Structure 1
Amino acid sequence: MTRDTRSLELSDEQRLNRFPASPLCSLSWWFHGESRMVGFDEPPAASRPMPGRFVFGGPHRVPTQSWCPGPAHAMMLVLLPDALHHLIGLDAERWVNRIVDAAEVLPPEWLALCEAVQCAPDDEARVRLIEDFLDPRWQAARPAQVMTAHRYSDWAQGLALRAATSSAGRSLRQVERRIKQWAGQPMRELRGMARAEKAFFDALAAAPDPDWAGIAVEGGYADQSHLCRETRRLTGFAPVELRRRIAEDESFWAYRLWG
């Protein structure tokens, strides 16, 4: 996904970039301007420089945010952690809740891709470079059993199935260990994120006054209070406030893009 604010007049608050907890890994570039790391409960003034020119983010069990002090043009590639395990042998558990210089994680040929993307003339050329790089490598590395993942729940189900049918050992403990190695997090956490994603889409599709109790039941929560606790843990906001901010707050652009 890309973000270009060069033609926009935004306040400091609007230049925040808010992201929910996510099982995904990310690789980020900045072509104009910069982005700085800022704690979820911190003001932009407390921001810190990113750890490198190209930044790798592991799966996150907590919400995160960054801040652009001025106009910026950036791109983020998001990848499932088990795909990166097959492609480069990534141990996702090592990078949970971490944002680091990509050189700490990626092999030389991937860093060469980062340089090529940085120097490409436009976003269309950048996407083409990424696709041309990834496609042959994924065709060679992909597991024989692959499920089409439309949502986190589809992906988590496919991950559990592959872990359970792997020839490397099929005891419950081995399956759980394999899932955590591939995804960085236990299946319990992945299922929690899948529930939250379903509730997110159900709330966006609902009328102006969603039936939160019904959304909680349909999403597999024990009750509405459980939904509220989990939503706050994964996003930092209660469901009603989160829905309002997605609709009104510029810093929630990534949520709108996902929806």
Structure 2
Amino acid sequence: MIENIQDRRITRLAYEGEAGSWEIWRALPHPSLVPHVIDYSGYRETGGKPVWRRELPSSFIPLIINFDAPFTLRDGRAAETRYESFAAGIYSAPVIVGSAGSAHCLQVNFSPLGALQFLGVAQSEIAGRTLALADLLGPGAGRFIAELHDTPDWPRRFALLDRFIAARFAAARAPNDTVRQVWHGLKRSKGAASIAGLAEDAGVSRRHLAKLFRTEIGTTPKTMARILRFEHARHMAGTVPRQGWADIAYEAGYADQAHLTREFRELSGLSPSELLRKDRAETGVLEGVA
């Protein structure tokens, strides 16, 4: 059984501006859950105005446990969809998420292999999709959300998350060894490693690896490598003093600056400079405030 972390470090950030007022509390999970659980965030937003954010493709799986008004998602499908608590699989295109002017939620970021164990479904079933938590976890989801809501503070909520996630991991099957090996190779290299080389090291063909990877991760190694490079380049672009785009392209493993620009447009819907201009770091990539 996981014991509570008595000295868990929790950081608090606050913001007040065009996106309203918000507070965010961040913490790491219990060490036994690393690296399959990346981090926890508690979030409260009070702005009074609807806010739209551009959520970009990422190498992690976000799980949102919502205590307030539902979120609205636009992911290129015909109709907007409203969600209370949900999880989003690996997307290769941006999703626009709206809040009604207030938000109170908890976010858990899983590695793809962590999401595989926690959700208990092949990641190919949720890739490019957002699904209600009740549909993924069954009737127990509602009870767990209510228990988290009624827990009086963030340290005890994070401790409750530790225990709940650990219990589901203990009951889950372990990820495929080949997929795990290749995933860690891609992650360590920030998407720059040769997929052919990783497949050879794992003793499988690229075709077989792509099939295994799609089932357990939700996408092919090639697509995940693109997302990891994009994350790395975006991180470098946000550093101060910032490097030029040509230098970022070289360090992130793109063929040249034109290649980086094409990838930014395909994955985010924006040029590199547009994305950098819209990005508000902790408050996300703002699309608009009503």
Q: TM-score scaled by structure 1?
A: 0.75
Q: Describe the shift of the 1:82–1:110 C-alpha distance in structure 2 as closer, same or farther (beyond 3 A).
A: farther
Query: Is the 2:63–2:88 Cα contact (8 Å) retained in structure 1?
Result: yes
What is the correspondence of 1:157-196 to structure 2 with a 5 Å cutoff?
170-196=204-230
How big is the shift at 1:207?
A: 2.1
Match of residue 4 from structure 1: 44
SS in 1 for 2:248: helix
Letter of the 2:261 partner, please give it.
Answer: C
How big is the shift at 1:39?
A: 4.6
How big is the shift at 1:211?
A: 0.9
How big is the shift at 1:195?
A: 0.9
Match of residue 273 from structure 2: 240
Q: Describe the shift of the 1:150–1:121 C-alpha distance in structure 2 as closer, same or farther (beyond 3 A).
A: farther
SS in 1 for 2:93: coil
What is the correspondence of 1:15-34 to structure 2 with a 5 Å cutoff?
15-34=51-70
Count of equivalent residues: 239
What does the per-residue CA deviation read over 1:121-165, in whole Å, with 9 as the maximum and x for residues that have no partner? Answer: 333332211111223543675559778x999732877x9999878
SS in 2 for 1:225: helix
Q: 1:61 aligns with which of 65, 73, 92?
A: 92
Match of residue 74 from structure 1: 105
> Is 2:258 the counterpart of 1:225?
yes
Match of residue 187 from structure 2: 153
Question: Distance in 2 between the 1:122 and 1:162 partners?
Answer: 44
Query: Is the 2:54–2:284 Cα contact (8 Å) retained in structure 1?
Result: yes
Q: TM-score scaled by structure 2?
A: 0.68
Q: Describe the shift of the 1:151–1:21 C-alpha distance in structure 2 as closer, same or farther (beyond 3 A).
A: farther
- Between 1:194-203 and 1:29-38, the stretch displaced more is 29-38
Letter of the 1:30 partner, please give it.
Answer: N
> Is 2:121 the counterpart of 1:90?
yes
SS in 2 for 1:205: coil
Structure 1's unaligned 5+ residue stretches are: 254-259
What is the correspondence of 1:96-175 to structure 2 with a 5 Å cutoff?
96-107=127-138, 109=140, 112-138=143-169, 141=172, 142=174, 153-154=187-188, 170-175=204-209
Q: Describe the shift of the 1:152–1:20 C-alpha distance in structure 2 as closer, same or farther (beyond 3 A).
A: farther
Question: Distance in 1 between the 2:176 and 2:128 partners?
Answer: 30
- Between 1:133-142 and 1:227-236, the stretch displaced more is 133-142
Letter of the 1:5 partner, please give it.
Answer: E
Letter of the 2:248 partner, please give it.
Answer: I
Query: Is the 2:117–2:168 Cα contact (8 Å) retained in structure 1?
Result: no
Structure 2's unaligned 5+ residue stretches are: 1-40
Please provide the CA RMSD for this pair. Answer: 3.7
